[in-house]
Chain A
Amino acid sequence: MIQERLNILRKKGINLISSLSSTVQYRSTEIISIIAAVTIWQIIAVYIVQNKFFLPSFTDVLSALIRIIERDARLAVMGLELQLPVLFVDLLYSLLHFSIGLLSALLIGIPLGMAMGWFRSINRIVDPIIEVIRPIPPIAWIPFAIIWIGLNPFAAGFLIFVGAVFPIIINTYTGFKSVSRVYVEAAKVLGCNTNKELIRYVALPSSLPSIAAGIRIAMGVGWMCLVAAEMFGVSRNGLGYKIWHHYYLHNMDLVLLYMLLLGFLGLCIDRLLRYYVDGKLLKWRKGEVI
């Protein structure tokens, strides 16, 4: 038995290694491109700029990472005081702010966009208001976010909400507007007649690609708002907050490290969503050129 298990494990290990090496081969151009960029950065920082404050090199950032991984921070959750790595606590706070903003944007944006796309009168009522509010940059809401909500994670969430909600509304609306007439008529002839049924069974699934694209844009915009949202002191932790914090302390290597972390995490979130949407939700669109 144990021998068999070991064999299976060994096979899995070999498979993993071989698939890894094949990915490396397959992605060689991309990998070389990244390595080249890092090398050029390192050379410029060390030999041309020669100033760690002005431009920290790749190795500076790497040693900053090693330094900060060992540091701990306190995290208080529901009366519990936890001792966790500071990077992890920053990440948790940022994800908290981000998910408050994004979830509320989804909960408000999707139903609103659906109603606007399906009922002409609602669109005529809501659209002018949206068109006036939409061009206001999310950062301009900071004073009112503080006055209305106070210095807490929900104020940061509000800012991210302002950035994320409009792409969701607009893409949901567009999706609903462009539902093909023949699908609606086919559904009607098959006995699907009320607005509720037509929205549930025809308009919503048919506009899912557009809604998913809207969520992707919204997540990008929301992530960009994160730094601004954490700038005004809603919490003592957070990836965006730490950029300012370390700037004041003149730790430019840590500033750059947090910047890179923000970029990397944003990429991961986007990939996760794409994987889920393309693989699960939209597998009926495979083979279409997007």
Chain B
Amino acid sequence: MGKVTVKNLSRWFAKDKNEPTFALEDINLEIDDKEFVCFVGPSGCGKTTLLRIISGLDMPNKGEVHLDGQKIVGPGPDRGMVFQEYSLFPWKTVIENVIFGPLMGGVKKKDAVAEAEKYIELVGLNKFRSSYPYELSGGMKQRVAIARALANEPSVLLMDEPFGALDAQTRNILQQELLEIWKKKHITIAFVTHSVDEAVFLADKIVLMSARPGKIKEIIKLDLPRPRERTSHEANILRDRILKTLIKEQTKE
């Protein structure tokens, strides 16, 4: 199971005695099990902060987050995370990176390696199992990061603009691969992006956010059939609508 419930969540940052700045104000949200949710919004709308709070790396000032009824109080192996920056440990090879989580969880090395081989195969990097990260391209690094996050068998996969630093072609390929992985592994994915195109291609549900304070502006359910066509008429109409809302949001300031 991987059902995430966010209740009355607020996060603010206080600098000295100034008025606190609200990164997130009164967020209420439900992410269903096996759902693919994309968070879209202008920069500074708190989408990354929200993801970090779900991961347990950041704590809310008010409100709570539950995973399958369990309150989240810190990072845990039930929530995998893929970062925007390249986060592979550069001193470990691909396979050593992937088995890191299971080893921390007490899995025997032999079993962990056998499991890890499957995940490396899943992201298509068998040939590079003994390579160091410096030998990989940006897209390959993020593939390994996905395999590493999946090796802990999380019920939720949190992704913070994971393809943001990649070129357009690589990004399209990785989006396609991510959807296949999602279909195979039956997990919940929460995906932060600034690309409306990416969100429309991937998501079951798009959470549109507004900035200062970070609030949920609108939740859009997508019923476009999969596999999706990036340039289909329905996708274009949807993309157009979201972009117009975002522009309105940005010119408001």
| In the complex, B90 has a CB within 8 A of chain A | yes
Per DSSP, are chain A's interface residues mostly helix, strand or loop, or mixed? helix
B contact residues, range: 20 to 34
Contact with A along B147-185 (1 / 0, CB 8 A): 011001000000000000000000000000000000000
Residues of A within 8 A of B148 (CB): 190
| In the complex, B210 has a CB within 8 A of chain A | no
- B101 touches which one: A182, A191, A205 (CB < 8 A)? A191
Report yes or no: B75 in contact with A285, Cβ–Cβ below 8 A. no
Report yes or no: B104 in contact with A188, Cβ–Cβ below 8 A. no
A86 to B175, CA, bound (A): 72
Report yes or no: B57 in contact with A189, Cβ–Cβ below 8 A. yes
- B91 touches which one: A185, A191, A208 (CB < 8 A)? A208
| In the complex, B20 has a CB within 8 A of chain A | no
B53 to chain A, nearest CB (A): 13
Q: Which residues in chain A, 184-210, are within 8 Å of chain B measured between CB atoms?
A: 185-193, 197, 201-202, 205-206, 208
| In the complex, A288 has a CB within 8 A of chain B | yes
Residues of B within 8 A of A288 (CB): 134
Residues of B within 8 A of A208 (CB): 91
Q: Which residues in chain B, 9-67, are within 8 Å of chain A measured between CB atoms?
A: 55-57
Report yes or no: A189 in contact with B55, Cβ–Cβ below 8 A. yes
Most buried by B among A190, A191, A284: A190
| In the complex, B79 has a CB within 8 A of chain A | yes
- Beyond A284-B132, A288-B134, is A192–B87 a contact (Cβ under 8 Å)? no
Report yes or no: B83 in contact with A191, Cβ–Cβ below 8 A. no
Report yes or no: A186 in contact with B105, Cβ–Cβ below 8 A. no
Residues of B within 8 A of A185 (CB): 57, 81, 83, 87
Residues of B within 8 A of A191 (CB): 75-77, 101, 104-105, 152
Report yes or no: A189 in contact with B134, Cβ–Cβ below 8 A. no
Residues of B within 8 A of A283 (CB): 132
Report yes or no: B90 in contact with A193, Cβ–Cβ below 8 A. no
| In the complex, A287 has a CB within 8 A of chain B | yes
Report yes or no: B101 in contact with A183, Cβ–Cβ below 8 A. no
Report yes or no: B75 in contact with A193, Cβ–Cβ below 8 A. yes
A276 to chain B, nearest CB (A): 16
Report yes or no: A183 in contact with B134, Cβ–Cβ below 8 A. no
| In the complex, A286 has a CB within 8 A of chain B | yes
Chain B contacts to A: CB under 8 angstroms = 55-57, 74-77, 79-81, 83, 85-92, 100-101, 104-105, 132-135, 148-149, 152
25 A-B pairs, CB-CB below 8 angstroms?
A: A182-B86, A183-B87, A185-B83, A185-B87, A186-B81, A187-B100, A188-B75, A189-B56, A189-B81, A190-B101, A190-B104, A190-B148, A190-B152, A191-B105, A191-B152, A192-B104, A197-B104, A206-B89, A206-B90, A283-B132, A284-B90, A284-B92, A284-B133, A284-B134, A288-B134
